[in-house]
Amino acid sequence: MAGHSKWKNIQRRKNAQDAKRGKIFMKHAKDIYVAAKQGGGDPEMNPSLRLAVEKAKSDNMPNDNIERAIKKATGSLDGKQYEELTYEGYGPGGTAVMVEVLTDNKNRTAAEIRHAFSKNGGNLGENGCVAFMFQRKGYLVIDNSNNELDEDTVMLEAIDAGAEEMEANDGVFEIYTTPEEFSTVKEAMENSGFTFSNAEITMHPQTLSTVSDEDGQKMIGLVTMLEDLEDVQEVHHNVDASEDILAEL
């Protein structure tokens, strides 16, 4: 019985991992679909598509899945039509939350997001209620946990490439760019030999909202529930909390 129980536990974990992988691939497929729909199916000529494909490959998404998403967007295959939407609201403790989605059924998506907010001490708001608290930025992260890289050298490379600013925090270099210069900075620094542990265009909070540990735990519940929704692509917030809370977020 013990061996049988162990096998069942392994199988259960594998099924959970497969389900999680499937959700990740679905999110990447939607990102690729929208990028190709807006800018064409050639990654060399479409920086947004190139970034979406790179992110998908970093999560080991099969090439067949990537090509299928591009073909759907360019009309080579029949498929669902997705719409890009952003929902805004207030999380626990009055924090600002923005949720980017890709959906083929906005009524379903709105109901699911509203439920997630209400269940975790937040409220879904009107368009524009918190958007002014964020600014779209290119965001590049270099891992320097082994302290091999010199901060001044990396900063000069980033600025020369066109970055706006760089911060050194806890063994990483965080580089910020305008959305328009993101691809240029990324490619220039990669050509100089730098590799990135994260590279994306994201919504950067202009001000942070400090919350208690209790509200921080509620915020973790809200973000987790939102990210588990199939239509949700990104969740942005302006939470400042204890290190343990931020690590989970």
CATH number of the domain encompassing residue 21 = 1.10.10.200
Q: Rg for the chain (alpha carbons), in Å?
A: 20
pLDDT in tens, 177-225: 999 999 999 999 999 999 999 888 899 999 999 999 999 999 999 999 9
**Amino acid 249: pLDDT:** 80
How far the first Cα of the chain sits from its last, in Å, is: 39
Q: What local confidence, expressed as pLDDT, does residue 79 receive?
A: 65
Structural domain for 49, as ranges = 2-73
As a whole number of angstroms, the distance between CA 190 and CA 196 comes to 8
Do 168 and 151 form a contact (C-beta atoms < 8 A)? yes
Domain shared by 199 and 221, yes or no: no
Collect all residues with Cβ–Cβ distance below 8 Å to 188 and sequence separation of at least 6. 160, 161, 162
Q: Does the pLDDT value for residue 72 go beyond 60?
A: yes
The pLDDT value given to residue 5: 47
Average pLDDT of 157-181? 94
The predicted structure's pLDDT at residue 77: 59
Do residues 142 and 194 share a domain? Answer: yes
| 186 within some domain | yes
Enumerate residues 6+ apart whose C-beta is below 8 A from 102: 30, 31, 33, 34, 82, 83, 84, 85, 231, 233
Number of domains in the chain: 3
- Residue 235: pLDDT over 80: yes
User: For position 155, what pLDDT does the model report?
Assistant: 96
Domain identity same for 54 and 153: no
How far is it, in rounded angstroms, from Cα 229 to Cα 239?
Answer: 21
In terms of domains, do 11 and 103 share one? Answer: no
pLDDT greater at residue 22 or residue 238: 238
Q: Which residues contact 9 (CB under 8 A, 6 or more apart)?
A: none
CATH of the domain at 197: 3.30.70.980
Helices (H), the chain: 2-39, 47-58, 63-73, 106-119, 151-161, 182-191, 213-227, 243-248
More confident residue, 25 or 154: 154
Same domain flag for 215 and 117: yes
Q: What percent of the chain has pLDDT over 70?
A: 90
> Does one domain contain both 120 and 68?
no
Assess if residue 78 is contained within a domain: no
- Tell me: do 199 and 216 sit in the same domain: no
Residue that terminates a domain, selected from 50, 73, 96: 73
Residue 122 lies in a domain: yes
24 and 141 share one domain: no
Residues 198 and 219 in one domain: no
pLDDT surpassing 60 at residue 140: yes
- Helices 47-58 and 2-39: angle between axes, nearest 10 degrees: 170
Please tell me the number of Cα atoms within 13 Å of 47 on its side-chain side: 13
**DSSP element (H, E) containing 236:** strand 232-237
Mean pLDDT of the region 80-101: 92
pLDDT reported for residue 12: 46
Residues 228 and 184 in one domain: no
